[in-house]
Amino acid sequence: MALKKTTGFVLLRIGWEYNDEYYNSSEEDDTGVPTQIFLSREPAVKERDRLNAIGREKETKSSHRMTDRYNQPITRFYDIVEVEMEDHGSNREIPRDKRRGGTGGEEDRTGRI
């Protein structure tokens, strides 16, 4: 029996590492830390844009500005990767008290992993 495939959109936190001259991003080697997964692109893009805006705001207030190898300011802190997932038939839902935040509020239904 063939497994049903679903497209997921993984929100990755880009890891910036300082090398005593500039910051290198983990996106250059296709790595990052998965933070959330979405089943449609639009909410993933909205969350990525929201988190990048927060990162840029924090960066503008920082006394140490992050710049890349071209001496450009860092403006991207999150990215989206599209993945194909197989549905193994498990429709089990995580109990609200076990979800991140544990309140059962809106933040718990975003698919955080």
pLDDT of residue 99: 56
Q: Would 5 be classed as within a structural domain?
A: no
Q: Would 28 be classed as within a structural domain?
A: yes
Domain interval for residue 42: 11-109
Which distant-in-sequence residues (6+ apart) come within 8 Å of 77 by Cβ? 13, 14, 16, 51, 52, 55, 56
pLDDT of residue 110: 45
Q: Would 80 be classed as within a structural domain?
A: yes
Q: Would 3 be classed as within a structural domain?
A: no
CA distance 33 to 15: 7
pLDDT of residue 104: 41
Q: Would 31 be classed as within a structural domain?
A: yes
Q: Would 4 be classed as within a structural domain?
A: no
Give me 22's structure tokens: 């500039």
Structural domains of the chain, count: 1
pLDDT of residue 15: 79
| pLDDT tens-digit readout, 54-87 | 988 888 887 677 777 777 877 888 899 999 888 7
| pLDDT tens-digit readout, 28-50 | 555 678 899 999 999 999 999 99
Reply yes or no on whether the pLDDT at 18 is more than 90: no
